[in-house]
Structure formats: structure tokens, C-alpha cells
Amino acid sequence: MLTIDGREEHEPRARNRTIPVKTLPRPDEFYLVDVVRVNSTKGRVVAAPCQNLGFLSVFQEQNGYLGGYLVTNSWGRPLEFRLSSAVAPNKVQQILYGDTLPGYLCGEVIGKTLIDKTPTAVGIVLTDNPNVLELRRHIEQPVALWHCLVEPDASTPGLEVAPRLFCHPQFPADAAAIRELLEKQAGLEFHEPFSRIREAMGEARKLGVTTRSAAA
């Protein structure tokens, strides 16, 4: 090795030293989302195309993100309901994922897991959380956002399908499919099933349902 003034200097022999290396968790290494089936029509799997509706609500609480998924028939009768355990990202994951974290957690980690664990087919998935629109990248069914609070000056959360109803902007063909399906659901109040999900999740926690093993 040459020094700054051009003199040759022999490199010292390396010593055998063990350098401690702390292994950090992988960015996508979240806790497994347990999914519990609370109520269902046992063995009923409806073949597509179907008129069943899926209502998916994901929200953040003190102990993490929670999700509930309610499948109803065309007139609102519950066919199946599942809820997830809490998912809490650590500080490293929050830093690495940045602004993409809510969409990843709500859409892919929680939303897709709930739908994969639910055998009852649906024609459309409706959500009340804009971050769940990212789920559309991972499933075949259209995903629609029921956004009850739309401020005039705020940017739209997606591609507008109808007043207060949006779809993922990268799937514009979903708009026509959503309109066609919802035309057959005359009189359906979109906010009502989401209220049922929140209340049912609260009662399920009181009964300790979220501590049970995930249903197959």
C-alpha cells in the first residue's frame, strides 16, 4: 500500500476478530395475522359470478391495526364474518416502509389474509378505509371505497364511481362493474354493514374470540 508521499508501506496482518452483527427483522416480517371465523354458513361456497357482497373494515387502535370482514347476501343477511388479530409494525418497519406502510398493512397483510381465509365468494369488496384500495392489486374482484366524509377541497381517494363511492385509479374498468352490481342492490345503505363489523369486533374481543386459534 502506498502512503500519501509515495512511500510503500506494508499492510498490517489482519487479526482474527469476531465483529458482532445485529440481525434486524426483514422489512416484510410482520407477525402472522390470525384469522378467526366467528359466524358462517358452514360449507357454503358460492360460485362466481355471484351477488354476495364483502364488507372489509381495517382500522388502527392502540395495539395495532385490526380488520373485520363481513360477507352478506344481496339483501344484507350475514353469511360469514371473520376478524384478524392486531398487527403492530415495529419502528424499523415504519421507517423502511414509510408512507407505503398503511396501504401494505391494510390491503395486503390484513385484507388479503381475511379474504383468503373466507371460502364464501363475493362479487365485490367494499371498504370504508382508503388504504384498503391497495387490496385490488392482489385479488380479482373489484374493490370499492365507501368514503362517507368527502371534503370539497381534499384530493379524491380514488376514481369516482358514484357520489362518495370510489375504486382504485389503476383499475378504471372496475367502475362499470361496480355500478352494474350495485344497481341490483337498490336501497342498500353502505355505512350500515361497517357499523355491524365494528360492533361485532368489540363483542368478539369481550368474549375472547381473538385469543383463539385461527380457523382453518
List, for residues 13-43, the tens digit of each pLDDT value: 544 444 344 333 444 444 445 555 555 444 4
205 sits in which H/E element: helix 191-206
Whole-angstrom distance, CA of residue 25 vs CA of residue 88: 14
Residue with cell 358514484: 162
Query: Residue 10: what pLDDT?
Result: 52
Domain spans of the chain, in order of start = 35-211
pTM as predicted: 0.75
Backbone angles phi, psi at 36, to 5 degrees: -115, 130
C-alpha cell at 55: 364488507
**Single-letter amino acid code for the residue at 170:** Q
List, for residues 113-158, the tens digit of each pLDDT value: 999 999 999 999 999 999 999 999 999 999 999 976 656 666 778 8
Whole-angstrom distance, CA of residue 143 vs CA of residue 141: 6
Total number of residues shown for the chain? 216
28: region left, alpha or beta (phi > 0 left; psi from -120 to 50 alpha)? alpha
Residue scoring higher pLDDT (39 or 176) = 176
Helices marked H in 140-190: 174-183
